[in-house]
Structure 1
Amino acid sequence: MKRLLLIRHAKATHDTDYKDFDRPLKKSGIKDSEIMADHLKTKSYIPQIIFSSPSVRTKKTADIFAEHLSVTKIQTDKAIYEASDATLLDIINEFPDQYYFIALVGHNPAISQMLYHLTGQIKDVPPCAIAVIDFEFDEWKLISGGTGKLVLYDEV
């Protein structure tokens, strides 16, 4: 079985002094990330590794989740930034099979589109929303549309 945790990055500033890639989290985004990470911890949903977009807001969100969940492995992938749902699926299909539970921190609209594509569940997916999806496969490459079961969805 494989388990995927989708995380949309937390609330970021819209200050025009920053390029989109460099936008930092707001204080409320930092707090929301801590709350959601602690929520996952109380439910014992602890990924083995986190894959994240390298943008400032997603990387900081990933760092907060990693700290609160004691996850020591974070990898960034430039393809997650501005990814389509098809690109995200390609990334998921390439995840290393040695991990059964992986978190992916990314951006909308791809995160909400991926949630729908994998589970058929339509969700708004606001900043810092989380979705845990289970798959009845032993290989990430077998994951495709409609093969996942949403086991947890929550938002701040």
Structure 2
Amino acid sequence: MRPCTLHFRNTTRALPPRAADRRVFCRTAPTSSAPVQEATDYTTPGEGKTLRRLILLRHADSDQTQAVRDHDRQLSSAGRQQAAQVAQLIKSKGWTPDLVLASNSKRTKQTLDEMSEVLEELGSVDAHFYGSLYTVAALDGQTREHIMECLLEVVDDVRNTVVMCVGHNKGWEEAASQFAGTAVKLRTASAALLQVYSGSWREVLRDSVTWQLVEVMGPSSPSSSSSSSATPSSSG
């Protein structure tokens, strides 16, 4: 296999403080409340809107037989095949990423290495690897917020229209479910394809925005969002 040529930075970032630890200073509300505005529809095209796509991909299957720490587990032979297959599926859908954010675990990096053998554009895509994306995936309900924070640091409204985030369960399933507003299950090397129409990334990288779940697909067989309840494996 040729070496991966992904450009990346090893960035270990401190986890964001829990909501309970954040000080909130409240001002007294004015006596005359502002008129209630209708919720923005991000699921349909419109003037000034760009189609923005987000791929939440769980890493491919890893070898659990070697006596190494979890962070250093490598892909299994099956996992290498899975990564190649999901890359082909993403390519066939026309969802080639122009920006990648990922956990810095070994199996995550190897998943991208194998994918770049099929999806050659990944070899030159701007990619950022975060230790915090590995850590936060094990915590309850914090992954979506952290993905959004990391994205807002590097995403560009003009250059980036398809962003892929690669990481681990349980956090990736939780994040995909929160983005989509419905339960999403991700097996190894499975991806949730989400999209919105908006004027900017910042506009839709908020807790209040629900993204359209286009499809959940994996290496065994693509599955529509209505049948995306495949049982995840235990390899994180």
Query: Structure 1-normalised TM-score?
Result: 0.91
Q: Which has the higher contact order (CA 8 A, sep 6+)?
A: 1
* 2:58 aligned partner, one-letter code: R
Give me the whole-angstrom Cα distance separating, in 1, the residues matched to 2:77 and 2:174.
27
Alignment partner, residue 111 of structure 1: 172
* Local SS of the residue matching 2:215: strand
Q: Does 2:191 align with 1:130?
A: yes
Alignment partner, residue 68 of structure 1: 118
Alpha-carbon RMSD across the aligned residues, in angstroms, is: 1.6
**Match for residue 130 of structure 2 among 51, 66, 77:** 77
Alignment partner, residue 213 of structure 2: 150
Q: Confirm or deny: 8 A CA contact 1:8 1:127 kept in the other structure.
A: yes
Query: Structure 2-normalised TM-score?
Result: 0.62
Give me the whole-angstrom Cα distance separating, in 1, the residues matched to 2:165 and 2:171.
11
* 1:147 aligned partner, one-letter code: T
Give me the whole-angstrom Cα distance separating, in 2, the residues matched to 1:45 and 1:5.
8
Q: Map of 1:2-41 to 2, 5 A cutoff? A: 2-41=52-91
Alignment partner, residue 45 of structure 1: 95
Give me the whole-angstrom Cα distance separating, in 2, the residues matched to 1:53 and 1:28.
20
Q: Confirm or deny: 8 A CA contact 1:24 1:56 kept in the other structure.
A: yes
> What is the Cα deviation at residue 16 of structure 1?
4.9
> What is the Cα deviation at residue 88 of structure 1?
2.0
Give me the whole-angstrom Cα distance separating, in 2, the residues matched to 1:67 and 1:119.
30
Q: Give the gaps of 5 or more residues in structure 1.
A: none
Length, aligned pairs only: 156
Q: Confirm or deny: 8 A CA contact 2:66 2:73 kept in the other structure.
A: no
Higher helix share: 1
Task: Please say which structure displays the higher CA radius of gyration.
Answer: 2
Alignment partner, residue 25 of structure 2: none
* Local SS of the residue matching 2:198: coil
Give me the whole-angstrom Cα distance separating, in 2, the residues matched to 1:67 and 1:141.
32
> What is the Cα deviation at residue 67 of structure 1?
3.2
* Local SS of the residue matching 1:45: coil
Q: Percent identity?
A: 24
* Local SS of the residue matching 2:135: coil
Give me the whole-angstrom Cα distance separating, in 1, the residues matched to 2:199 and 2:61.
34
* 1:144 aligned partner, one-letter code: R
* 2:150 aligned partner, one-letter code: I
* Local SS of the residue matching 1:81: helix
Q: Structure 1 residues 66 and 138 mapped into 2: Cα distance closer, same or farther (>3 Å)?
A: farther
Question: In terms of mean alpha carbon deviation, does 22-31 or 128-137 score higher?
Answer: 128-137
